[in-house]
Structure 1
Amino acid sequence: MSDRLGLVDSHHHVWNLDHRPQPWLDEPGHEPIRRNHGPDDLRAVATRPLAGRRLTSTVVVQCVTSTPETRELLALAEKDPLIGAVVGWADLTSAGTGDVLDELRSGTGGRYLRAVRHLVQGESDPEWLQQPSVERGLRAVAERGLAYDVLIRSHQFPQAIRLAERFPELPLVLDHAGKPPVRNGELDDWERQLKRLAGHPQVHCKVSGLITEADHGKWTVADLRPVWDALLTAFGPDRLMFGSDWPVCVLAGGWNRWAAAVEELLDGCSADETEAVLAGAATDFYHLKEGTPCS
């Protein structure tokens, strides 16, 4: 595990709407983030230390189902020292998934490709991850030593659990804690399913996206505490990693407010536990190198 005193943001996005449209931003409520966002914008807003740590490295994550977008993210990682890893996209249903992954890894910035992701949250098939073509694609991911980011909503846990059962060799990380229903506080079913998924040792979890599942204007740390307690119990600190989900988090308060909430949630954790959540788990999972703090 990393022993450096830094902060890793394991989940953020960038986009240039002049170059590549993001159709999901056209949905009502996304007006505050319907503009270009790049690494320098993140540097400008991520100014608050978290438990005395300043941002040193990030993981940039795909937004749209586009291999060209992944190429652009890899090229950006090659140029920008803040970005330590890329979670990209490849069509898992294609017979040529492996060839596409090989092409991405051999291209500009290909060494930064550490995982892939698909927007399973938008798939209506309750067994999408178990489709034979998808499992073939996931095997190609595993064979190349890559990981898989699991983006689901809370009702889709059964297929994520089945994925973990069928692919014990594939490192998995649950994005946004499986999107628990923070707003209504009805967490019992989410917590039961979370514990089942966490029972598989290759599964990690991102402490990210929680404030956008809460009331955007009224959430408090007390609203998040039951989710945090469940995550810490299920995964332990060594399998939890801080992520901002910036710039989406702007919709519910922004990077600094979320960082302040995480610091409060970490109160009572030991120095080693704090290190794991804020740097160690993500560094190990995504094979990050040391970075330089943002100025």
Structure 2
Amino acid sequence: MTGPGIIDAHHHLWDLAVRPQPWITGAALAPLARSFGVDELTSRARAAGVTATVVVQTVCVPGETPELLALAAGGGLIAGVVGWTDLTAPDVADALAALRELPGGDRLVGIRHQVQEEPDPGWLLRPDVRRGLLAVAGAGLAYDLVVTARQLPAATAAAAGLPGLTFVLDHLGKPPVAAGALEPWAAEVRRLAALPNTVGKLSGLVTEAAPDRWAAEDLRPYADTVLDAFGPRRLLFGSDWPVCTLRAGYPEVVRTAGQLVDGLGPDERDAVFRRNAIRVYGLDVPAPGGRVG
């Protein structure tokens, strides 16, 4: 599926000459052990009908977010940045305000922490983390959840306790696609989606699939689950480029996402592929020349 006006609400960029990506280890991730920049993104995204994007942090260090904001300030596709700051720091509100003052600071739309790497499954419920999440809400930003299935209960509890903050579930909570299992992931996603301040990203599913032997139909049970749980008005499309290249190229990811929502009407598809991202992240993007078909 291609068409004008698609917003890719989740991708990454990194330059290994500027900053290492310590998470890229082992043979399975070896194809990612190079730099992925704006020019390469632009070439692939525009060819797939993408007119705006949201770039998302990859490492929990202070220096990365200002760099991403500077890229957004340079014009081009990047309309929003989901960055990082230390939620547990006493001065988290001041840190968020300082990011807003940087070049591109007006493109800061959300904050994310690599919760999936935290050994404590209840990390999101710690008092110092909750205080940081309150600061994110106070700054008018969204909070992206990058969690594993076992961390979904804590994510649900955190979202229930902070109704003024929009929680965006990245990669749908990383369901066990390769194993072909739905539970307990599906039940936990439904509990999260029952909260009105939560949104899901239709992203990262191909990466959870089995290497070299996946098809759109392998992903459909998971997409159908979140379409039913969140509804098409609370789902965003994200490519997860370049991580997705471990399984599929950019055009194939966009096309597969279109197949997974092929039961939706044109207006609902336009919501998933464009309008929801604008609303959730407060993106300032021009009107498209047409709708996603």
Short-chain TM bin: over 0.9
Question: Are 1:182 and 1:213, in contact at CA under 8 Å, matched by a contact in 2?
Answer: yes
What does residue 30 of structure 1 align with?
29
What does residue 20 of structure 1 align with?
19
| Equivalences for residues 62-141 of structure 1 within 5 A | 62-141=57-136
Residue 279 of structure 1 deviates from its aligned partner by 0.3
Residue 38 of structure 1 deviates from its aligned partner by 1.1
Question: What SS is found at the alignment partner of 1:114?
Answer: strand
What does residue 144 of structure 2 align with?
149
CA distance in 2, matches of 1:292, 1:67: 34
Structure 1 letter corresponding to 2:165: L
CA distance in 2, matches of 1:161, 1:120: 14
Question: What SS is found at the alignment partner of 1:58?
Answer: strand
What does residue 259 of structure 2 align with?
264
What does residue 193 of structure 1 align with?
188
Question: Are 1:191 and 1:230, in contact at CA under 8 Å, matched by a contact in 2?
Answer: yes
Residue 81 of structure 1 deviates from its aligned partner by 2.3
Q: 1:250 aligned to 2:249?
A: no
Listed one character per residue, the Cα deviations across residues 45-94 of structure 1 (whole Å, up to 9, x for unaligned) are 23554xxxx10100000000012100000011000321000000000111
Listed one character per residue, the Cα deviations across residues 7-32 of structure 1 (whole Å, up to 9, x for unaligned) are 00000000000011111113331111
Question: Are 2:54 and 2:81, in contact at CA under 8 Å, matched by a contact in 1?
Answer: yes
RMSD of aligned alpha carbons = 1.5
Residue 217 of structure 1 deviates from its aligned partner by 0.8
Q: Gaps spanning 5+ residues in structure 2: where?
A: 289-293
Residue 244 of structure 1 deviates from its aligned partner by 0.4
Which aligned runs of 4 or more in structure 1 are off by greater than 4 angstroms? none
Listed one character per residue, the Cα deviations across residues 238-264 of structure 1 (whole Å, up to 9, x for unaligned) are 100100000000000121111111121
Name which of 211, 219, 231 aligns with 2:226.
Answer: 231
Residue 291 of structure 1 deviates from its aligned partner by 4.8
Structure 2 letter corresponding to 1:171: T
CA distance in 2, matches of 1:258, 1:271: 19
Question: What SS is found at the alignment partner of 1:204?
Answer: strand
CA distance in 1, matches of 2:106, 2:46: 28
Question: Are 1:48 and 1:259, in contact at CA under 8 Å, matched by a contact in 2?
Answer: no
Question: What SS is found at the alignment partner of 2:205?
Answer: coil
Structure 2 letter corresponding to 1:18: A
Question: Are 1:60 and 1:73, in contact at CA under 8 Å, matched by a contact in 2?
Answer: yes
Structure 1 letter corresponding to 2:164: E
Normalising to structure 1: TM-score of the pair? 0.94
Question: What SS is found at the alignment partner of 2:81?
Answer: strand
Listed one character per residue, the Cα deviations across residues 205-259 of structure 1 (whole Å, up to 9, x for unaligned) are 0000001101121111110110111010000001001000000000001211111
Question: What SS is found at the alignment partner of 2:255?
Answer: helix
Residue 292 of structure 1 deviates from its aligned partner by 9.0
What does residue 204 of structure 1 align with?
199
CA distance in 2, matches of 1:279, 1:135: 30
What does residue 208 of structure 2 align with?
213
CA distance in 1, matches of 2:238, 2:269: 14
Normalising to structure 2: TM-score of the pair? 0.94
48 and 79 in structure 1: CA distance in 2 versus 1, 3 angstrom threshold:
closer
Question: What SS is found at the alignment partner of 2:206?
Answer: coil
Structure 2 letter corresponding to 1:261: T
Structure 2 letter corresponding to 1:46: A
Name which of 54, 57, 60 aligns with 2:55.
Answer: 60
Question: Are 1:56 and 1:292, in contact at CA under 8 Å, matched by a contact in 2?
Answer: no
